[in-house]
Amino acid sequence: MNYDYIIVGAGSAGCILANRLTASGKHTVLLVEAGGKDSSFWFKVPVGFTKTYYNETYNWMYYSEPEKELDNRSIYCPRGKVQGGSGSINAMVYVRGQRHDFDDWAKAAGDQGWSYEGVLPYFRKLESHPLGNTKYHGADGPIGITPMKEGAHPIVHTFLKGCEQLGYRRNEDFNGEQIDGAGIYDLNTKNGQRASSSFMYLHPVLGRPNLTVERDALVTRVRFDEKKRAVGIALTQHGKPREFTASKEVIMAAGAVDTPKLLQLSGVGSEALLAKYNVPLVHELPAVGQNLQDHLCVSFYFRANCKTLNDEMRPLLGKLKMGLQYLLTRKGPLSMSVNQGGGFFKGDESLEHPNLQLYFNPLSYRIPKSNKASLEPEPYSGFLIAFNPCRPTSRGSIEIGSNRAEDAAKIRINALTTKKDIDEAIQGSILIRKLMTAPALKDITIEEISPGPRCKTEADMLKYFRENSGSIYHLCGSCTMGDDAATSVVDARLKVHGIEGLRIVDASVFPNVTSGNINAATMMVAEKGAEMILDDAKASAQRDSDAARASEALHSH
């Protein structure tokens, strides 16, 4: 079957692309998703991400290769295997990033369209913000934005008071003029329900006659013609092989792990890697799968002398009470993320920009070791403070480990391999200890449970980070944007170097990880990418029309 466009992956980016590319009615689009529908109740409830965290039906549940600098641990890397992708299973904190994050993108891409000023219109376009249409916000976009200020647990305000006591500024809007300071995060929710790109962009347009969605369909490769033009895809669905063709473009939106994996399986990547697994080379592009980045996070646990969310969420009666509150009002703890407060801080005052992001959770919980467990609060009144460096400089990779699409790629985060990243792992620990000296926080704290009083020196802090840090699930950059085919995969218009008819529109194109949670930036890339695709289609149609008229004029003479 033939379509104008084929989109591989119905994740945060793919759902937006499907909506925008079918809006005019002029183009036929096939959207392919390896997972199923996002019809479960738990996708709508914001705190439902705790139910999908270890659910192999909706989650690829990837693990990294053993990380040498993280005590040889394999790091858990959950990825959405469902319509909506990782945007259906994330914790929904909505942060765009710092201005200089995107200015650095523009430098890498050689195109000012990717600077902060260049991307701001697309952030505004995708969101429906309660502040209305302002310089920094939009009010007419599909993605609902909800500040958690009203519903945040009282202990979160104690954290903010402590930050102010130590001289840190209060930030009312991390997506406004400045990102530094302490505050309460925004969520991408609407009326107390998750506002994923699947719910807000794709669900409303599933009836469009020019849009076809194929679910439970694992793409095995991109198909090319003899001129190295992408002409379609091959996939398996319910155990049967199928093929589809694209007359205009194949658009990869399978994410930072599976987009490079699929390119490599299709013969686009490092010649040596492909030869190792007997994959015929279509086009050598050594940067495919390189430049992988992620945010690594570690948590400090505290016992409180006052009520926290642990006291509400642990007992069965408390769970029933919260469930009833949510069902009747769409409010309460179930309507929010557990990552309520936090902010952006400098680990060294001589720095130009904040380099550490903090999360203050009015709940303390451990990540379960069992693949069957869900997140359970600790059996005491507690809270946690977590941090991650904003812009790590360590670089990892995504590489196939076989020539079978059914086999997971090898993920190497390659964490803590630069001095900067090691320094910041220590800086974050020092910052949390400093914050806990604030009178407001000292007043509510009985003890630091972990790392605890034995962790005193910088060497102790680094050891704690190595043994306990984990991914905060912001993998990106593995098909990076740039103007040099030796070191990047796509150009500034997201076209794959050296290949016709193939584009990548997802988090893998990030030249550098943004400061903060990356889902907002991924959706922005999709909005901007969709516009580029449509503009290029219009330009191509105009060229064809001009050529036809010129030919007609020539023949008439």
Q: Is 66 helix (H, G, I), strand (E, B) or coil?
A: coil
Helix (H, G, I), strand (E, B) or coil at 503: strand
Alpha-carbon torsion 373, 376, 379, 384, what sign? positive
Q: Which of 242, 230, 290, 236 minimizes the C-alpha distance to 266?
A: 230
**Rounded-to-integer distance, Cα 339 and Cα 289, Å:** 30
- Minimal CA–CA distance to 119: which of 139, 101, 142, 146? 101
For the stretch 162-169, contacts whose Cβ atoms lie closer than 8 Å and that sit 24 or more positions apart, written own/partner, are 162/435, 162/436, 162/438, 162/439, 162/440, 162/441, 163/343, 163/435, 163/438, 165/438, 165/439, 165/440, 166/434, 166/435, 166/437, 166/438, 168/343, 168/345
Contact 69, 396 (CB under 8 A): no
Nearest CA among 20, 26, 78 for reference residue 52: 78
Coarse DSSP helix, strand, coil percentages of the chain, rounded to the nearest 5 percent: 35, 25, 40
In 145-295, where do the E strands start and end?
146-147, 181-184, 186-187, 189-190, 193-194, 211-214, 217-224, 230-237, 240-252, 268-269, 283-284, 290-292
β-pairing verdict for 29-32 and 211-214: parallel
Alpha helices (runs of H) in 72-186, residue ranges in sequence order: 99-109, 116-126, 154-165
Look up 474 and say whether it is catalytic.
yes
| Active-site residue, selected from the candidate residues 474, 497, 555, 557 | 474
Q: DSSP string covering 320-336, please?
A: HHHHHHHHHHS-SGGGS
Residue at token pair 């990418």: 529
**Strand 76-77 with 143-144, pairing:** unpaired
- Residue 117 sits at φ, ψ, to 5 deg, of -65, -30
> CB count, 10 Å around CB of 469?
25
Catalytic residues: 474
